[in-house]
């Protein structure tokens, strides 16, 4: 799975294909661009309470002026948490644009690509949450725009 996802990023990023990395996907984006991960946040940060749930129980602060802020339309949101790894050192061109209240990275984006965003939570499980709906709609819209551009180029 790692090899497949890294190969997909290798192929898609140069063509400026919109990419939204969800949970593990955000981690793969970061690793692909040279970053590293904490392999287990619960052993690295003993003060963090285990909170594995699909329910929005974690507060995330989003950097104002970031692309993720523009997409979500909020400076903070409640999200779910299903992971035990987290981004440690960021990869090339990656900016941290959201953190939870424990300081762990929850959102990243790249300065080098038009739509390369990663979130540590699962917006697809938060279907009634308007900011998460906006995030998914933005991905669909960006993909549609890219498809139209490619069709015009043919």
Active site residue 124: yes
| Total Cβ atoms within 10 A of residue 111 | 10
- How would DSSP label each residue in 55-98? EEEEEEEE-TTSHHHHHH--SEEEEEE--S-EE-S--TTEEEEE
Three-class SS state of 119: strand
> 84 catalytic, yes or no?
no
Name the catalytic one among 17, 23, 69, 109: 23
Our answer to whether residue 122 is catalytic in this structure is yes
Phi, psi for residue 20 in degrees, rounded to 5: -115, 110
Continuous segment of H or E residues that includes residue 28:
helix 24-32
Q: Which of 5, 83, 84, 122 is catalytic?
A: 122
Residue from 10, 64, 70, 124 carrying the catalytic annotation: 124
Active site residues: 23, 122, 124
């Amino acid at each position: 799975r790692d090899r497949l996802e890294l190969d997909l990023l290798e192929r898609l990023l140069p063509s400026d294909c919109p990419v939204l990395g969800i949970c593990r996907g955000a981690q793969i984006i970061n690793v692909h661009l040279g970053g590293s991960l904490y392999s287990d946040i619960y052993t690295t940060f003993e003060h963090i309470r285990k909170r594995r749930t699909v329910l929005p129980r974690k507060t995330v602060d989003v950097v104002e002026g970031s692309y993720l802020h523009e997409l979500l339309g909020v400076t903070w949101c409640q999200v779910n948490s299903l992971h035990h790894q987290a981004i440690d050192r960021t990869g090339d061109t990656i900016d941290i644009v959201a953190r939870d209240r424990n300081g762990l990275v929850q959102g990243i984006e790249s300065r080098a690509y038009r739509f390369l965003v990663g979130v540590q939570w699962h917006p697809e499980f938060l279907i009634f949450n308007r900011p998460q709906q906006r995030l998914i709609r933005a991905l669909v819209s960006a993909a549609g725009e890219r498809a139209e551009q490619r069709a015009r180029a043919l």
